[in-house]
């Protein structure tokens, strides 16, 4: 039985986020459905783009594409194996399917179909999946804590973990320009807007130093880059100078940028990811550093190797150490 933590006195009781809920914090700057709008934009100039989903069009922002291009939208029913097998067949006929579902269903239920019909045949299918890592309060059925590990292990697969709406808009045309299978984690609905303030430009396979700092290097992907930037501001108040290297492409990994930053002396290196501690960005970076004889003080912020609890996301992010406050607290502890 899971232990139930009683609500902190004085704090409002948080409800579990509903199906359509956003990852954005209250009052945060957001943009609606960046993937859906970017795909519509792409599809105007690329007639081979088609959209497929398995009964989750509305919940992966694909409904925006469906409304604009109804004859290029394929509802495959709640059948994820069929979804990805059919996407492979469409790609075989020269189309570029963007095939959406939740990350749990693509990574766990349809894995062999993606492995054999898409990755092995190097088909030009873009697998775009909502609710990556811990972005749902519904419990393990909807929490894809291991999606990056699974897709990293698959040959031919490009794996991308975007941070915000600004980046998702740039990723859509970038993965269309790349021929081959791509797994992209999707943030849907009202998506936080963060990187626009940093003059950021996504480049496939490239990491990007968003912020420089002398004391700590955070290497992060996805929403953890947002958390790292917030934590860096908080830590600056304690005179801790934090650099943030954003690594949206988990595979292929930007070895050069990671090694260049990790080699700079005197910094604590922390990898932060919205993913189980097994097999994700943290272990990928650790292995790269070991193989390259680079040995900084190294720590990981990641989800524990356990079935995660159901509940409200802010509570869960605190409990599992991936909220801004928890990121800052852990780093301060390691610096003592």
Partner 1 sequence: MSTSSLVNAPSLSQRARNIRRNALRMGEVQGQGYIAQALDISDVLAVAYFHAMRYRPEEPTWEDRDRFLLSNGHYAIALYAALIEAGIIPEVELETYGFDESRLPMSGMASYTPGMEMSGGSLGLGLSIAVGMGLGLKRKGSKSRVFTLFSDGELDEGSKWEAMMSAAHHKLDNLIAIIDVNNQQADGPSKQMMGFEPLVDKLEAFGWFVRRVDGNDLDAVVVAFDATISHPEPQPRIIVADTVMGKGVPFLEHREKNHFIRVEAHEWKLALAELDAGDRS
Q: Interaction with partner 1 in 120-179: which residues (CB under 8 A)?
A: 120-122
> Which of residues 30 and 88 has its CB atom nearest to partner 1 in the complex?
88
- Selected from 56, 87, 103, 184, the binder of partner 1 by CB under 8 A is 87
Which residue, 208, 207, 213, 258, is CA-closest to 233?
213
Which stretch in 8-16, 92-100, 191-199, 287-295 sits in contact with partner 1 by CB under 8 A? Answer: 92-100
**Which segments of the chain are extended strands (E)?**
30-32, 49-53, 73-75, 96-102, 126-130, 158-160, 182-186, 190-192, 208-211, 216-220, 242-246, 249-251, 268-276, 298-303
- Are 275 and 148 in contact by the 8 Å Cβ rule? The answer is yes
* 28 makes contact with partner 1 (CB under 8 A): no
Q: Which is nearer to partner 1, 50 or 145 (CB)?
A: 50
Our finding on whether 10 is near partner 1 (CB under 8 A) is no
- To partner 1, the closest distance from the beta carbon of 131 in angstroms equals 22
Among 14, 21, 25, 79, binds partner 1 (CB under 8 A): 79
258 contacts 247 by C-beta, under 8 angstroms: yes
Q: How far is CA 135 from the centre of its chain?
A: 10
Q: Is 88 in the site for partner 1 (CB under 8 A)?
A: yes
Number of residues that bind partner 1 (CB under 8 A): 28
Cβ proximity to partner 1, 85 vs 311, nearer residue: 85
User: Is 55 a binder of partner 1 (CB under 8 A)?
Assistant: no
76, 159, 269, 272: which one binds partner 1 (CB under 8 A): 76
String of b and e for 59-75 (b: at least 16 CB within 10 Å)? bbbbbbbbebbeebbbe
CA distances for 252 relative to 140, 203, 255, 257, 321, angstroms: 28, 12, 9, 12, 27
Active site (annotated) includes residue 80: yes
The least CB distance from residue 101 to partner 1, in Å, is: 13
Q: Which tokens in the block code for residue 227?
A: 């958390």
Shortest distance (Å) from residue 79 CB to partner 1: 4
H helices present in 23-129, as ranges = 34-45, 63-68, 80-92, 103-104, 111-113
> Is residue 5 at the binding interface for partner 1, with CB under 8 A as the rule?
no
- How deeply is 119 buried, as exposed, middle or buried, from its count of CB atoms within 10 A (0-12, 13-18, 19+)? buried
CB of 82 to partner 1, least distance (A): 4
Q: CB 83 → partner 1: shortest distance, Å?
A: 8
Member of 59, 65, 95, 320 binding partner 1 (CB under 8 A): 95
Q: Which own/partner contact pairs does 254-258 have at CB distance under 8 Å and 24+ positions apart?
A: 254/205, 254/206, 254/207, 255/288, 255/292, 257/206, 257/207, 257/208, 257/209, 258/207, 258/219, 258/285, 258/288, 258/289
Residue 93 makes contact with partner 1 by CB under 8 A: yes
Please tell me which residue in 26, 41, 48, 80 is annotated as part of the active site. 80
CB of 93 to partner 1, least distance (A): 3
If binding is defined by CB under 8 A, does position 68 make contact with partner 1?
no
Q: Does 90 bind partner 1 (CB under 8 A)?
A: yes
Q: Are 191 and 222 in contact (CB under 8 A)?
A: no
User: Which is nearer to partner 1, 97 or 162 (by Cβ)?
Assistant: 97
With respect to partner 1, which residue has the nearer C-beta, 98 or 202?
98
Contacts with partner 1 by CB under 8 A lie at 50, 74, 76-77, 79, 81-82, 84-95, 97, 112-113, 115-117, 120-122
Catalytic residues: 80
């Amino acid at each position: 039985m899971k232990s139930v933590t009683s609500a902190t006195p004085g704090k409002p009781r948080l409800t579990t986020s509903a199906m359509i809920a956003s990852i954005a914090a209250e009052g945060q700057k957001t943009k609606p459905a960046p993937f859906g709008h970017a795909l519509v934009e792409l599809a105007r100039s690329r007639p081979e783009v088609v959209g497929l989903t398995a009964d989750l069009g509305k919940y992966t922002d694909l409904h925006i594409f469906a409304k604009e291009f109804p004859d290029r939208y394929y509802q495959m029913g709640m059948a994820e194996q069929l979804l990805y097998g059919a996407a492979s067949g469409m790609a075989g006929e020269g189309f570029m399917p963007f095939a959406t579902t939740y990350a749990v269903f693509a990574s766990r239920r349809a894995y062999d179909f993606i492995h054999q019909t898409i990755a092995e045949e190097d088909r030009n299918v873009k697998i775009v999946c909502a609710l990556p890592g811990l972005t749902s309060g519904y419990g393990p059925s909807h929490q894809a804590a291991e999606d990056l590990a699974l897709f990293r292990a698959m040959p031919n697969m490009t794996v991308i973990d975007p941070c915000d709406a600004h980046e998702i808009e740039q990723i859509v045309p970038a993965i269309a320009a790349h021929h081959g299978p791509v797994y992209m984690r999707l943030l849907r609905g009202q998506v936080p807007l963060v990187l626009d303030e940093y003059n950021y430009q996504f480049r496939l396979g490239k990491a990007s130093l968003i912020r420089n700092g002398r004391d700590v290097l955070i290497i992060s992907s996805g929403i953890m880059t947002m958390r790292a930037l917030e934590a860096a501001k908080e830590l600056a108040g304690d005179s801790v100078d934090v650099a943030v290297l954003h690594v949206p492409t988990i595979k292929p990994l930007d070895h050069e940028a990671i090694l260049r930053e990790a080699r700079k002396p005197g910094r604590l290196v922390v990898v932060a990811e919205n993913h189980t501690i097994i097999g994700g960005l943290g272990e990928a970076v650790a292995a790269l550093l070991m193989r390259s004889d680079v040995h900084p003080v190294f720590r990981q912020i990641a989800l524990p190797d356990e079935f995660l609890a159901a509940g409200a996301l802010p509570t869960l992010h605190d409990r599992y150490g991936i909220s801004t406050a928890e990121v800052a607290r852990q780093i301060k502890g390691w610096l003592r």
